Amino acid sequence: MPTIDTLLASATLPDSPSARLDAELLLAHVLGKPRSYLRTWPEREPSAEQCAAFAALLARRRTGEPVAYLLGRQGFWSLELEVAPHTLIPRPDTELLVEAALSLGPPGPALVLDLGTGSGAIALALACERPHWQLVGVDRVAEAVQLAERNRMRLQLGNVRFLESHWFAALAGEHFALIVGNPPYIAADDRHLGEGDVRFEPASALVAGHDGLDDIRQIVREAPAYLEPGGWLLLEHGYDQAEVVRALFTAQGFAAVTSRRDLGGHERITLGQWTGARDAQ
């Protein structure tokens, strides 16, 4: 039987930019062990069933299927989250949204909304860091809401609730100190939709009209009715959309509008403060 070392050495993932890491994650998953086990016991011989399972996962990865979907989980912030093909895979860039919300949110109790929650990543990260906040996460996809709730239960976070809602539709009468979201922002004809992991992710969570801004326009237009005076709206967007998104915020009457850059130097999120009266709902 092949050893752990020989299995990893012979694993071929020619189209993956992180082939070795992918192979290690998949093999550790099959063995039910942490990655450190692979280096500690390279001479161990997995069973025939484990070798076959590893080969099957490698074959799926060669088609481009994301490692997160193959494992059924993804790390985000300090959390390990269950993920599934009906939700986006949480990405490190979105942690910038969490950092900004933590820096802007009130020090005391607050009601905070996560729009398009997916796996619940943003809401759960904020709930973990700010136990005195109450988080609401909404998603239009029922399976996503169920997945987020499973993550909440596993993490034993009691200050979060998840609702099925298309943006603000189910939130009449509620007002929030912070509204955060990672809405769809890819144009319908963007070539990147046919590349990499996004080929396997739900189009409804990626695409927003001809220019990618349909959902952001709606959120910016409707958010003032759901913000407390002085509350903040924070949205993730595409790397080249910041100028247009800032203009949308400013035209709607938001103050202190600014964008923040991700680790790659791209303006990845835009935020603004609502200082006017609430719009009529």
Tell me if residue 193 falls in helix, strand or coil.
helix
Average pLDDT (120-140) is: 97
Residue 175 has pLDDT above 90, yes or no: yes
CATH of domain 86-273: 3.40.50.150
Residue 13: closest CA among 75, 63, 52, 84: 63
The predicted structure's pLDDT at residue 213 = 87
| Residue carrying the six token digits 């923040």 | 260
Lowest mean pLDDT among 85-89, 107-111, 171-175, 248-252: 85-89
Residues of the chain with CATH 1.10.8.10: 4-63
- Greater model confidence, 263 or 49: 49
Question: Which residues of the chain are in CATH 3.40.50.150 domains?
Answer: 86-273
What pLDDT is recorded for position 211?
Answer: 73
Distances (CA, A) of 104 to 70, 122, 156, 250: 36, 15, 25, 19
Statement: residue 203 has pLDDT above 80 = no
Q: Among 56, 50, 65, 51, which residue's Cα sits nearest to residue 15?
A: 65
On the question of pLDDT at 18 being above 60, the answer is yes
Question: pLDDT averaged over the chain?
Answer: 90
Looking at residue 208, what is its pLDDT?
A: 53
Question: In 3D, which of 228, 278, 234 has the Cα closest to residue 257?
Answer: 234
Provide CB contacts within 8 A for 185, sequence distance 6+.
208, 212, 213, 215, 216, 236, 237, 238, 241
**At residue 76, does pLDDT exceed 50?**
yes
pLDDT at residue 86 in the model: 83
Residue 281 clears pLDDT 50, i.e. is over it: no
Q: What mean pLDDT is predicted for residues 60-70? A: 91
Tell me the average pLDDT across 250-277.
93
Report residue 14's pLDDT band, with 50, 70 and 90 as the boundaries: confident
| 240 has a pLDDT exceeding 70 | yes
Q: Residue 280: what pLDDT?
A: 45
Would the pLDDT of 202 be above 70?
no
Question: Rounded mean pLDDT of 95-104?
Answer: 96
Write down the residue that tokens 């609430």 correspond to. 278
Three-class SS state of 30: helix
Residue predicted with more confidence, 260 or 278: 260
Q: What is the pLDDT of residues 205-224, one digit of tens each?
A: 555 566 778 899 999 999 99
Q: Average pLDDT, stretch 63-88?
A: 91
Q: Which class is 4-63 in CATH? A: mainly alpha
Above 80 in pLDDT, residue 40? yes
Q: What integer is the mean pLDDT of 39-62?
A: 95
pLDDT band at 279 (very low <50, low <70, confident <90, very high): low
Beta strands in 1-142 (DSSP E): 73-76, 79-82, 110-115, 133-139
Q: Which residues pair with 271 in a beta bridge?
A: 234, 258
Q: pLDDT, tens digit, for every residue of 133-172?
A: 999 999 999 999 999 999 999 999 999 999 999 999 999 9
Output the pLDDT for position 185: 66
Report d(CA 209, CA 88) in Å as an integer.
18
The pLDDT of residue 17: 84
Pairing relationship of beta strands 133-139 and 110-115 according to DSSP bridges = parallel
Phi, psi dihedral angles at 93 (to 5 degrees): -55, -35
